[in-house]
Chain A
Amino acid sequence: MELDRPAPVEDLFARLAAQTPALDAYRGSLLIAVNEEYGRWDTLVSDGDELAFFPPVSGGRP
C-alpha cells in the first residue's frame, strides 16, 4: 500500500482488515515487525518501509 505520510501500524492493519475482514479475528495474537524489527500498534510506518504481521513464534516447553 502507498502512504502519503507516516501512519501508525494500527491504521494500516485497519486498511488491510477492511479488504480482508477475516484478518480481524487474528488482531489480538499477531506480532508486528517494521523493517524486520519488532514493532507495536503505534509504531509509525513510512512509505517504503516493510511491515509484517505474524503469529506467535514456535515456542516449545523448556
Chain B
Amino acid sequence: MIEIVHSPIDQKRVVEAVSSPAAGAVVTFDGTIRNHARGKSVTHLFYQAYAPMAVKELEKIQSEALRRWPLQEVAVVHRLGRMEIGESSVFIAVSAAHRRDAFEACRFVIDTLKTTVPIWKKEFYEDGEVWIEGSAG
C-alpha cells in the first residue's frame, strides 16, 4: 500500500495492509506534527507534494526495502494539506518474520522518504510562515 491522502490517515487500515500470518513483527512509524521548530512555536503545518512523482518515489523505497530485508509487506501513507499539532503527516507499517528486519526497514523507509520524495512542508508560527528546505530539521 502506497498512498497520498488529503484527510486524516486511517492507521488501522495501514497496519491491516501489512498483516500476515507469516509475520512475527509489525513495526510502525507515526510522523506527527510538532509544536516547535528552530526555537519557535509552531501553530500548524501545510504539506504539499509533486504527487505523481511522490507516489513513484515511495514505490521505489518500498521495492528497495523489500529487496534489502526479508519482509512480508511495506505500507506508506502520506497526508497533504493543513495539519494541526499532534496529527500524523506520515504513517509507515512494515511486517517481517523477525523484529530486527522490521525495525531496520521501517527506519530506512522514513529516512529515505525524507530525502527523496518530493513533499514539502510549510511551518506556520504566531508571527509568520516559512517553507522548510531539505534536512533543515
Contact = CB atoms under 8 A, between A and B. Distances in A.
Interface of A: 29, 31, 33, 36-38, 52, 54-62
B134 A56 contact: yes
Contacts of B116: 38, 57
B134 A59 contact: yes
Given A52-B50, A58-B134, 10 more contacts: A29-B133, A36-B50, A54-B120, A55-B131, A55-B133, A56-B133, A57-B118, A58-B114, A58-B120, A58-B121
28 contacts: A29-B133, A31-B118, A33-B50, A36-B50, A36-B52, A37-B56, A38-B116, A52-B53, A54-B50, A54-B118, A55-B120, A55-B131, A55-B133, A56-B134, A57-B116, A57-B120, A58-B47, A58-B121, A58-B132, A59-B114, A59-B115, A59-B132, A59-B133, A60-B31, A60-B135, A60-B137, A61-B137, A62-B111
A38 B118 CA distance: 10
A7 B120 CA distance: 29
A55 B132 CA distance: 9
Contact of A57 (B31, B111, B119, B137): B119
Given A31-B118, A33-B118, A62-B111, A57 B53 contact: no
| Prevailing SS type, chain B contact patch | mixed
B66 interface: no
A57 B56 contact: no
